[in-house]
Amino acid sequence: MWSLIRKSRTMTCSLLTLSLPLFYNSISTIYRPARSLRNPLVTTSSVFLAPISSSAIRAFCSKSSEARGMADRAVLSIHNPDSISYLNQREAAEIDEILMGPLGFSVDQLMELAGLSVATSIAEVYKPGEYGRVLTICGPGNNGGDGLVAARHLYQFGYKPSICYPKRTNKPLYNGLVTQLESLSVPFLSVEDLPSDLSKDFDILVDAIFGFSFHGAPRPPFDDLLQRLVCLHGSDQTRQKAPVIVSVDIPSGWHVEEGDVGGEGIKPDMLVSLTAPKLCAKKFSGPHHFLGGRFVPPFIADKYKLRLPPYSGTAMCVRIGKPPQVDISALRENYISPEFLEEQVEADPIDQFRKWFDDAVAAGLREPNAMALSTAGMDGKPSSRIVLLKGVDKDGFVWYTNYESRKAHELTENPRASLLFYWDGLNRQVRVEGSVQKVSDEESDHYFHSRPRGSQIGAIVSKQSAVVPGRDYLYQQYKELVEKYSDGSLIPKPKHWGGYRLKPEYFEFWLGQQSRLHDRLRYSPQDVDGKKVWRIERLAP
């Protein structure tokens, strides 16, 4: 039996190569160094030199929580923006001084987290397949440094960033960030190199020009650059898709507390607030407002009475306000995948499944052994649910459940079922159909006692699919059994619990491709000279 190892629900994210202090709290914030603070000399971190697939983006922003019925993949959303704190300029500067002083944070650490938060916020909304061309416009200060870091992470996420950095800061930190981007062949464009109409060459325009400490009128060349951004949303758009503007911390040119005072400033589509939203963010009317970063310790939250949204799982960003209403009919993904050809696949579908399953594990996908199990009783009414694959070999696919559940009753009446694996990020599905029978008592008993003791007790408590008075009823029974077996004695497997094995008679491997020309390869058994062989055929998408 090719056993499946239970994966930890904790994902390890490795893009940050700096050593970060462990001020990691559910009430969190991110750094914005005040202009009055002296930037220390720093050593820049190393970077990855190859892009990461778009699926890996979600390890930071979404894989920590996207609502698919699995808890850790959608970014949390705080629907009432008035329930959180907004900082004025003085408070923002004071918090920076605390972070940079007694808490011991360095500029490069905090800038790294800021840029990562911006990149993951962008990736949450604007996918690289549709919004791949990014221009990051960087100012001379720390806001510009955040933009440089964000561009590096966007490259790793599969985007194609370009940089406009007309007033470079000649300090080791900033020089190192430029070197890192140049090593990735990310182009740096002068203001003169930019097209007059930015919408022709770019899908996303990142405004990383001015931070909260800026005041006064923008000077050349930033006045012209800001005017170009204003013009994008200031005239009728005849193009099919206008580029989106993403502002870092505050929209450049806005007053940090009063917002777009004259009403003639840029109108970003996304605002990524850092530390906590500044007062001007209350005037932001775009569809996407995110808070990024996570490192405010409790005493700062208490001192400034900060009410900030919690981050889910390993997310580096959290949405503020309701997500915009979506036209469900317009939701679509233009898949980009390598070719999937008949001559490339394994002759045995079990071997091909193992190959794809190993890829899903290596990609860090959450619960790659999750599968939709579909059954139907004598009445022909189908039902589906997600269960976890616990083993696969030449004899078939194994899962465990309660033998008195609805699916078990349906399998008794009609011992046939269908399995569906869906591996988002790899653009892959696998369908398996076949007959089903129970595994041996010995096999069920062995697996039962390999489970955590809490799961063993839960299997005894749950009369699966039966009506219960409430959750307290279940919890009380659970507590009683925990006490009963607190001496560490063997917990007996209940007779109504065990495994099933589906013996496959049909496989289909699906790979998403552009323009809906998906690859579909079907394996069906044939008898050749008295031997069972698998016939491989391509199906129309």
Q: Is 145 assigned a ligand-binding role in the annotation?
A: yes
Supply the angle between the helices 453-461 and 471-484 in degrees, to the nearest 10: 130
Q: What is the pLDDT of residue 21?
A: 32
146 labeled part of a ligand binding site: yes
Same-domain pairing of 455 and 321: no
Rounded CA-CA distance 150/156 in Å is 10
Q: Give me the catalytic one of 9, 35, 385, 516.
A: 516
* Residue 83 confidence (pLDDT): 84
Quick check: is 398 in a domain?
Answer: yes
Handedness of CA 136, 140, 143, 149 (dihedral sign): positive
pLDDT at 19: 32
Q: Are residues 376 and 489 in the same domain?
A: yes
What is the rounded CA–CA span in Å between residue 502 and residue 416?
A: 8
217 is in an annotated binding site: yes
**Domain membership flag for residue 152:** yes
Residue 113: in which H helix or E strand, if any? Answer: helix 107-125
Domain encompassing residue 354: 349-538
Are 197 and 269 in the same domain?
Answer: yes
pLDDT at 65: 36
Q: Which pLDDT score, from 0 to 100, does residue 48 have? A: 32
List residues bridging with 417 in a β-sheet: 434
Q: State residue 284's pLDDT score.
A: 95
CATH number for the domain including 396? 2.30.110.10
At residue 428, the pLDDT reads 98
Q: Do 321 and 363 sit in the same domain of this protein?
A: no
The pLDDT, as a whole number, for residue 35 is 35
- Are residue 320 and residue 406 in the same domain, yes or no? no
CA-nearest of 352, 336, 368, 303 to 9 is 368
Determine the residue type at 307. Answer: R
Residues of the chain with pLDDT under 70: 1-79, 234-240
For residue 69, is it within any domain?
no
- Residue 217's pLDDT is 83
- Name the one residue in this structure whose structure tokens are 């049909």: 506
Taking a C-beta distance cutoff of 8 angstroms, is the pair 432, 506 a contact?
A: yes
Ligand-binding site membership of 207 (annotated): yes
pLDDT given at position 529: 87
Q: Residue 438 domain-assigned?
A: yes
- What's the structural domain count of the chain? 2
Q: Are residues 286 and 229 in the same domain?
A: yes
Q: What's the CATH number where 103 sits?
A: 3.40.50.10260
Q: Is 354 in the active site?
A: no
The per-residue pLDDT for 67 is: 37
Beta bridge partners of 399: 500
Q: What is the pLDDT of residue 299?
A: 84
Residues 129, 278, single domain; the answer is: yes
